[in-house]
Structures are given as C-alpha cells and as structure tokens.
Amino acid sequence: MNNLILIRHGQSIWNLERRFTGWADVDLTDHGKSEAKYAGQLIKKLNIEFDVYFTSVQIRAIDTLEIILDILNKKNSEIKKAWELNERHYGALTGLNKDEMMKKLGKKQVHIFRRSWNVPPPTMKKTHPNHPSKNKTYINIPTDKMPDSESLKNTFERVMPYYEKNIKPLLSSNKNILIAAHGNSLRALCKKLLNISNKKIIDFEIPTGNPLLITFGKNLEVKKYKYLDDKRARNILFNV
C-alpha cells in the first residue's frame, strides 16, 4: 500500500478578510503558518517516507509545503510546482468580500459561484489589476491557458491532465506523495479519486491546514481516507 496526502494551504490573509482569492497571490497569516506547522507535526507522526512533493505556483501553498518540510526535516527536498494545481479563478469576484457579495447577490447565488460544479463567476476583464497576465508569478503560463474565470469543472479539466501525466504514474509505482494546494484544486482531485458525483461535490469542502490521508491498495484502489485532525474535519467526509 502507498499513501497520498492532500493539504489545503493554511489560512491566508484574504481567507481571514473573507475575500475571494483565486489566482491573487496572497500570503499566509500567522495563524495560517501555525496551521501548516501543526499539519507538519501530524504528518510526521505517520512516519511516512515521501518520494515526491507537489504544490501550485501560488505563495500560500508553497509556504505551507515549505513549513511542513521543515517540520519533517526535509527542507532541501525537490518540490514540483505546477500552475495546473492553482486555486480556481474567481473571475470578477476576485478581491471582493464574500459577506458583501451575499448582501448584493443573495446567499444562494454566492453559494452557486463558490460550490457549484459548472457555474463560473462573472469574467474578469484583462484590465483588472488582479488579472493573471499582470502577475509575474504566471509569466510562464501560455496566454491561452490563463483563465478569466473558472467553475470547478474548468478547474477539474486543468488539474486532471496534470494528475494523469505527472502524479498518477508515481502513485501506480507505489510512491508516497504529498500535495499542498488549494480548496478547489483539491476538490477536483478528490472528485476523481473518491468518485464524488457532480451533485455531491457541491457539499464537499476542504478545510485549511488539515491533511487528508488517502491510502491505496492494488490498482490505485482507495482503501481508506481520513483527516489527520479529527477535531477540524467537520462533517465533510460522507458517503460520496
């Protein structure tokens, strides 16, 4: 058997401010760094020897992984960074306060934008200060691949080809993998790995800084999965 650990980055500044973040490159809060440290301690207790580490190109995920690697005494490990593992793009909602948008658009509509399978938020104009084309972090991403807005389905469609090419072969070879990424890129992965339906994925949420351990048997059959911090798992693991 081999293992995959998925961890959403620790609390970011915009998580704290309840702002839609998406592709905006936002740092961790002090609490977010503490979440990452605690996650590292939980992972360390498993005594798993990881073969490969993956993350997105966004600073909050990279910092989370680096904090974890420090706890694991693996500071100099190679990290594979991929923009395909970025958070989903929240379009014109980027930077806006979620509570204010609920007052303006209604809770139901905001919930649809946040959790639905195939409904993207309104498109972000290329003149917007948070458009990916204006961020040097994304300079190597092909222009035609830069989103103006994404649904979870759109995110799934960029995450899965990367997974199939770069991560699945390693898992098939019984490698242990750790991925630090984002709420929606990890929801996309979980949809595939845990066979979550389009309907159920709406209610599937991943908390910040809580490692999800997935253990595989033969032929990548999922044997078991659990959050390492039971107290923060909430009621989000259900019959998928």
**Active-site annotation, residues:** 9, 87
CA distances from 143 to 78, 123, 137, 184 (A): 27, 16, 13, 22
CA distances from 201 to 53, 142, 144, 167, 212 (A): 26, 29, 28, 22, 16
CA distance 224 to 205: 18
CA-only gyration radius of the chain, Å? 17
| CB neighbourhood size of 99 (10 A) | 12
| CB neighbourhood size of 166 (10 A) | 15
